[in-house]
Structure 1
Amino acid sequence: MLDGYGSTILDGTWLTLQLALLSMTVAVLLGLIGAACRLSPLKWLSLLGETYATVIRGIPDYVLILLIFYGGQDMVNRIVPLFGYDEYIDINPFVAGVGTLGFIYGAYLSETFRGAFMAIPKGQAEAGLAYGMGGMRVFLRILVPQMIRLAIPGFTNNWLVLIKATALISLVGLQDVMFRAKGAGDATREPFTYILMAAGIYLAITSVSLLVLRYLERRYSAGVKAMEI
């Protein structure tokens, strides 16, 4: 039925998963940094974080991918000759995809994390400090666990959107599941079959992700629900 393209599609699926997981790792780091900047009492730092979130969220992912991939590659090849390196540098599509998606969704997660931190009553941190806990211990033991619980719904939404956005990276040559499905469809002249298969794979990934993240949400909310009862 698959004309020998089954293993190719599976390889593309594994590449898509790697891209999504690594991109989300970068996005979480940038999101935390962005949230910290936006919550900073320093005006210039707050403005920097606000600018990052506003600009990136206001431009379509497709446009940003093309700008960062092609524009970034052009910029790198303009700069490196200044340091005596004359060979052309071709940026790996996978590395470019991870960096680009991580940069884009870091802006969205900065808003998610900022809102989660702001939802935690200030008195809890003050109580921890009054109890004798250090600032870092208050952050790790009191604020972060509550932030995770409050951020999971927003994180879930961003993760699902990011998974679907990985398909855009095929436009710059990454041989992910979308790229390979399209290639198989063109070769066999059965594009509908393979595009439908790719759609099913994305649906399977997002469905499993929802089950896992909903479990985590229930786990982190267990104590809160018990208190509300």
Structure 2
Amino acid sequence: MDLLVEYQSQLLSGTWMTVKLALVSLALALVFGLLGAWAKLSSSRLARRSAEIYTTLVRGVPDLVLILLVFFGGQVAFNWFGYVTGLWDFVEISKFVAGAATIGVIFGAYFTETFRGAIMAIPRGQIEAGISCGMPRQLIFRHIIWPQMVRYALPGFTNNWLVQLKTTALVSVIGLQDLVYNAFTAGRSTGQLFTFMAAAFVIYLILTGISDLVLRAVERRYSRGVVRA
């Protein structure tokens, strides 16, 4: 216990890095998810095919492979493009940016299917009723599609978010000082690896527990007035 108190600043900074990484990657995943759902439901064949390739490709490759590919291969490709075009000499992609972008793209593919299923669950007659009343698209989306889409998507969203929060641990392999990296470093330097990994275990449980409580409250809010079978 004394070791945990001694290294508490290192554990707290790693926890904060994990939370920041999870939130930034979540924002990116939501953008990719909404765009992907729109593309899959679009009347454009090109948009549907592009979204299908995106989700199939991302979900078919291990997350760790994609993180390593983006961090190492992406940096080489980015600087090669800058050299060929003469726009820049050398730019180093930060570990945080590489990790957040990769996780955001990965879970954007999962959110695509979550949002697509939620939108398809909305009765078509409600949207047609809005159109017949002369409501513009923005108003239909804000008052008909969005509230119901959130309610239908929340169970899948909760599951994806909890998995995404734990997936942030993979960025430790590229040297980002997140919770796992700092706990492993402290445990290796003190010879008490189990103690610090157990501390990381407890911290992740606390983070996922808080997330679950918050999302359950959001689900109750969007489910007001809904009669459950």
TM over 0.5: yes
Task: Report Cα offsets for 1:25-78 as digits up to 9, x if no partner.
Answer: 000010000000000011111011111111111111111111111110110121
Over aligned residue pairs, what C-alpha RMSD do you find? Answer: 1.3
Q: Which residue of 1 aligns with 2:82?
A: 80
Aligned pair partner of 2:22 in 17, 20, 23: 20
- Counterpart code for 1:160: L
User: Post-superposition shift, 1:87?
Assistant: 4.0
Q: Which residue of 2 aligns with 1:122?
A: 124
User: Post-superposition shift, 1:85?
Assistant: 5.6
Q: TM-score, normalised by structure 1?
A: 0.96
Aligned pair partner of 1:211 in 198, 208, 213: 213
Q: Which residue of 1 aligns with 2:189?
A: 187
Q: Find the aligned partners of 2:122 and 2:173 in 1 and give their Cα distance.
A: 41
Match of 1:79, SS state, is: helix
Q: Which residue of 1 aligns with 2:144?
A: 142
Q: Which residue of 2 aligns with 1:92?
A: 94
Gaps of 5+ in 2: none
**1:37-116 correspondence runs (5 A):** 37-84=39-86, 87-116=89-118
Task: Report Cα offsets for 1:61-103 as digits up to 9, x if no partner.
Answer: 1111111111101101211112336643221000111101000
- Counterpart code for 2:47: L
Identity %, equivalent residues: 50
Q: Find the aligned partners of 1:181 and 1:111 in 2 and give their Cα distance.
A: 35
Aligned pair partner of 1:199 in 198, 201, 204: 201
Q: Find the aligned partners of 2:91 and 2:137 in 1 and give their Cα distance.
A: 45
Closer, same or farther: CA 87–132 of 1 in aligned 2, 3 Å: closer
Q: Which residue of 2 aligns with 1:10?
A: 12
- Select between 206-215 and 3-12 the one with higher mean Cα deviation: 3-12
Q: Find the aligned partners of 2:113 and 2:34 in 1 and give their Cα distance.
A: 9
1:220 aligns with 2:222: yes
Task: Report Cα offsets for 1:131-165 as digits up to 9, x if no partner.
Answer: 12111110111101100000000000000000110
Q: TM-score, normalised by structure 2?
A: 0.96
Q: Find the aligned partners of 1:88 and 1:6 in 2 and give their Cα distance.
A: 37
Q: Find the aligned partners of 1:131 and 1:185 in 2 and give their Cα distance.
A: 64
Q: Find the aligned partners of 2:155 and 2:14 in 1 and give their Cα distance.
A: 28
User: Post-superposition shift, 1:2?
Assistant: 2.0
**1:153-164 correspondence runs (5 A):** 153-164=155-166
Q: Find the aligned partners of 1:44 and 1:109 in 2 and give their Cα distance.
A: 20
Q: Find the aligned partners of 2:50 and 2:103 in 1 and give their Cα distance.
A: 20
Match of 2:134, SS state, is: coil
User: Post-superposition shift, 1:222?
Assistant: 1.5
Q: Find the aligned partners of 1:86 and 1:51 in 2 and give their Cα distance.
A: 31
Q: Which residue of 2 aligns with 1:152?
A: 154
Task: Report Cα offsets for 1:156-183 as digits up to 9, x if no partner.
Answer: 0000000110000011110001100000
